[in-house]
Structure 1
Amino acid sequence: KGKRELLFGPYAGFTTKFLKHGSVFDLFNSIKLTNIKPMLGAGYHNLPLTKYLIDQVRLTPDARLDALKAYYPGAKKEDWELAIAGYRVQVIKKDEEEGGVLEFGTEVVSSGDGSIAALLGASPGASTAVSIMLGLLKRCFPQKASSDAWQNKLKEMIPSYQQSLGDNTALLQKVRQWSGSVLGLPDISEKIM
């Protein structure tokens, strides 16, 4: 919008949609006889989390503003708008002892032939996103991912690909300088080495 803005995103929400433009029936359509026990077990064994999420969903605009004021005391309601940043589908796995358990990590699931894949669980940050995508490429395109053409392209895109930065200080310094220049950060590689 051409304005400087601040995003503040601590609020949890709830929807029965699995995708941003999905159906409100997604959750209900996913319930089967084979997964109802794990779903109920995960909810029962995570009652504090369940209560927290329900409390978050029930927050009024004033209560959200109060939470914001803990970080930015000068916040005014008229300066803020609530926006949905994205959706996360929580992974629930069957468990023999508890019926079902919540998985808090990130997991890539794909069909046997690799024709479709999904990233489930916690949102990946910058520290894990590349690793997750490289794993996805290997899983969904095993022949292409191991081909010379793809290997060369990956090495071009990721200078440290398949190399240990801990064992190669020159490459570590080069990667830090490149990252710093892209992010507009000062070169601190000499101070660290």
Structure 2
Amino acid sequence: LTRYLMAEAASSREARLSQLKQFMPEFDPDQWQLVRAGQRVQIIKPGPKGRGTLEFGTEVLTTADKSLAALLGASPGASTCVSAMLEVIEKCLPELVTGKRLQTLQELIPSYGRSLQHDHRLLADVRRHTLTTLGLAPKPQHTDAERSLSA
């Protein structure tokens, strides 16, 4: 992984545009400007025999007194930022996940504290809500009779 990340960071403009062409065959290279935005940092932790091991993802670390939390690892993009913040709340502010506040949290995030793996109806509801919110829900199919009525 380290070699791959270093090679990607050092790749030429031509190599990057060649990769882009795989996704956008009709693109115009003159309309693209490459900007170095950085390279993702992963977690290296002490492993067996004193050697570091490369790990993926993010990890929330807190001080013993729970007064400080830090995020270690890859940047918290959209796929992880909510779960990372919920972990900070659970570790550092546990009073916010009990009683009335827990109810409010579950109103905001209906799947909070529940298993999508075991609750198939909840999983279907979350997927439907997400697809609709993102505008990715399939359009309803109309029968021939419905089409003729609306014409």
| Same fold (TM > 0.5) | yes
Q: 1:187 to 1:161 in 2, by over 3 A?
A: farther
Matching of residues 27-38 of structure 1 within 5 Å? none
Cα-to-partner distance string for 1:86-108 (whole Å, 9 max, x where unaligned):
66432111123251111113211
Gaps of at least 5 residues in structure 1 are 1-48, 189-193
- How many angstroms apart in 2 are the aligned matches of 1:185 and 1:63? 32
Larger % of helix: which?
2
Q: How does 1:78-117 map to 2 (within 5 A)?
A: 78-85=30-37, 88-97=40-49, 99-117=51-69
| 8 A contact 2:44–2:55 mirrored in 1 | yes
Gaps of 5+ in 2: 140-151
User: Percent of aligned positions with the same letter in both sequences?
Assistant: 46
Greater gyration radius:
2
> TM-score if structure 2 supplies the norm length?
0.69
Task: Give the number of equivalent residue pairs.
Answer: 138
Matching residue of 1:72:
24
2-structure distance, mates of 1:60, 1:162:
46
Q: CA offsets per residue over residues 103-132 of structure 1, 9 Å max, x none? A: 113211122233332222245565654433
Choose between structure 1 and 2 for higher RCO, CA contacts under 8 A separated by at least 6 residues: 1
- The one-letter amino acid of 2:134's match is L
Kindly indicate whether the alpha-carbon contact (under 8 Å) linking 1:88 and 1:122 is maintained by their aligned counterparts in 2.
yes
Superposition CA RMSD, Å = 2.9
**Of 149, 163, 174, which aligns to 2:114?**
163
Q: Residue 149 in 1 paired to residue 108 in 2? A: no
Aligned to 1:97, what secondary structure does the other structure show? helix
